Structure formats: C-alpha cells, structure tokens
Amino acid sequence: MKKIVLSVFSLLIFNKTIAQSNDIDTSKYADLRNRINDQSFFITLDSNNANAYRKRAELKFQIKDIKGAIKDFTKVIKLNPKDAVSYYDRGYSKEELKDYKGALQDYTKAILLDPTEPTFCLERGICKYELSDYKGAIQDYTKAIQLSPKNDIAYYNRGNSKDKLKDYEGAIQDYNYAIDLNPANPMAFYNRGLSKYDIENYEDAIQDYNKAIELNTDFFDAYVNRGDAKNKLKNYTDAVADYTKAIELNPASFDAYFDRGNCMDAYGDYAGAMKDYDKAIELNPKYAEAYNNRGLCKSNLQDYKNAIEDFNKAIALEPKYIDAYYNKGNTTYYLKDYNSTITNFTKAIELDPKYGRAYHNRGIAKYDLNNKKEACADWLKAADLGIKEAGDLINKYCN
C-alpha cells in the first residue's frame, strides 16, 4: 500500500522572523509579548507608523497570533499599497491558516508588484497545489526556477505536482535536479522513490528509500513504503522487518499492522497475519479492508463461519466493497451454501459488471445446483472477459 506524504516546502526570503519554527519557545514568550507592547505603544504615538505595524505583525506571527498578524499586515498594505513584501507576508500568514484562496490572491498581488522575486511564485505554486491546481502549480514553480535556477525547493515541489498528474518520469527528473542541488534532503529521495514505485521500478525505489532512511533514521513512511516495494519483489522477510520497524516508530499506525499482515498472508503465515489484522482493527474498528483480509485468512484456515462474519462486517462498513462480496461468495461455496454463493457473486457483478472471476465462480455454483444453462452463460461471459479457465469449462460441460 503506497503511502503518499504530502510535502511541499516553503521558502522565505525577506522576513526571516516569519520563517522561524512553528514551536513557540516559552522562555521567549514573555519577551515577545513585551516587544509587541512596545510596537503598540509606538502605534499609539503615530497611527500611521507602518514600520511598527510590520514589526508587530511579525512578532504576533511568532506567538501564533496569526489572525492578529494578518490584521497588522493589512494595515501596512493600506499605508503602503505598493509594498509587495507585505502582500507576500499576509499571504504567508493566510497560508498558515490554510486559507489558500486568500493567500493565492495576496501572492498574485505581490507578483504583480514585483515579478522578479522567485519566492512569490514558489508560494503561489504551493497554494495552487493545495487547491489541486497542479498544472497551475507547475507553471509557478517553473517561473520560480527561471528566476532562481538553483532553487532546489522549486524543483522538488514541481516534482510533487507532476507526480499528482501521474507524470512520474517528469517527477523523477525534477527530484533528480532537487537532489543534485541539495543531496541532504531525505524527502526528495523519498518522493523520488514513490514515483519509481508507481512505474514499477521497485528495486530503484528501494535504493531511494534506503537513502531517505540514511538521512533520517526515524523516517516512518520510508520504512513502510520500502516494505511495500520489497513485498512487490516477494522479499517477504525483509518487508516484514521494515513494517516491524515502522510499528516501533509509530505503534498506533493501523496501516503498518495491516501492511505487515498482508505480507505475512502472502507467504502463508495466516496465523501471524490474523494477529496483525486483529491489531489493525483494535486501532481502527472501522477498517473494512482489515476485516476483509482477516476473513480471507480465516477462510484459508477453513474457519469458514468466522470468515463470513468478517466479510459481513467489511460489507456493513463499506456496502459497495466488491471484494468482500466476492470473498464471501467463495467462502459460502466451501460450506455448500450455493444459493448464498450465487447471491454474493451477483452483488459483486452488479458493482463491477466486468468482474470475470465472479462470473466464473457463480457459474460453478449454478452448475452444482444443476442449472447448466445459466452456468454456461456465466462461463461464456467470464471467457469473454479473459478468464481462460471458463473456456475450459465450456468445452467440458456446455458443448
């Protein structure tokens, strides 16, 4: 299971105070408050003191009074409507509040006032990315690169946008540039690995995850996705080791337990897989996929009745869960409940009319109920959908 880490980077140039850590240093909080009061005093002396409003806005940002910062930046803009940096700073503050549309408007104004500053284009690109305008984001990142050719963050963010558009080769190329400019960024290696995974280049993806982990030994998502790539290569032992490390880093991750369970299931350790699915369900009781997969394990262990209970739970959580109906159909067949089998395969087919395997198996259940005509019709449909075994059944029983 591929885990996408949304990671666009901001780059601040002008107001370095704005770019400080999101964590408030409590030892400095009182000092910041005193400095805010000082600027407020200057404003009482001169209500048109733009510099005081600006400094107070920056200080408010540092104590996470973002709305107060926006109010002060707005006052600066009223006093100096051609100040591109103030539009930029207000936009960045809005972005902090996830007001991406408002931030985009401010960045656009900043660009109109100063079209030569790459940071303005970069930040507007981030807002477009967050608003799912990936093509527009690429245009802004490209402009930032033209203005600042060694801007690794612009290449990195453009790569993310290309990945969203499924231009994986283009994304990889941009991550290459970002890595050449800044080889210490684990996210660039990680996201390049994700793009390589998407083009099924699992071995190279693993190499990128390795590098990301080398740069950040606690990189949870890198362990998970490296496990996924190893799973694809059927390197189950190493994949389980990666999922186990991910669980050590984040014991509350139901996805990591689920993925490790899938891996154990793949090499036939159904009991071990069930333990992980149990844990995933404990952490997330509404995890339909975990119920479905645990049901498959129980079915493989011939615990058919309890398997059906799990499939029912998966269906209750996701009424359009095609595979759960299909798996339940197979399990009821083992119990020789052919009518229920037909009902479940029929539901799977209603949800996916091109589900060839469901036609194939429904035909078998119908044949076991001595309904040869309908069985042959199902096998014919399955054969049309590419199920080779259906053609064999037609030749044997229908001609």
What is the secondary structure of 98-133 as a DSSP string? T-HHHHHHHHHHHHHH-TT-HHHHHHHHHHHHHTT-
DSSP assigned state of 20: S
Which residues contact residue 149 at a Cβ distance below 8 angstroms, ignoring those fewer than 6 apart?
none
Closest by CA position to 83, among listed 131, 120, 43: 120
**C-beta separation of 52 from 43 below 8 A:** yes
Q: What is d(CA 399, CA 395) in angstroms, rounded to the nearest whole number?
A: 6
What values do phi and psi take at 319, rounded to 5? Answer: -60, -15
- pLDDT at position 25: 59
- pLDDT at position 78: 97
- pLDDT at position 19: 38
List where CATH 1.25.40.10 sits in the chain. Answer: 8-131
- pLDDT at position 18: 39
Q: Which residues of 15-49 are buried (b: 16+ CB within 10 A; e: fewer)?
A: beebeeeeeeeeeeeeebeebbeebeeebeeeeeb
At 395, list the tokens.
């030749």
The superfamily in CATH containing domain 8-131 is: Tetratricopeptide repeat domain (1.25.40.10)
The C-alpha R_g of the chain, in whole angstroms, comes to 29
- pLDDT at position 9: 52
Which residues contact residue 261 at a Cβ distance below 8 angstroms, ignoring those fewer than 6 apart?
272, 273, 274, 275, 276, 277, 280, 290, 293, 294
DSSP assigned state of 180: H
Q: What is d(CA 320, CA 71) in angstroms, rounded to the nearest whole number?
A: 48
At 43, list the tokens.
């404003």
Spans of the chain below 70 pLDDT: 1-27
- pLDDT at position 21: 38
Closest by CA position to 154, among listed 141, 170, 136: 141
Distance of CA 198 to the CA centre of its chain: 13
Closest by CA position to 381, among listed 399, 356, 346: 356
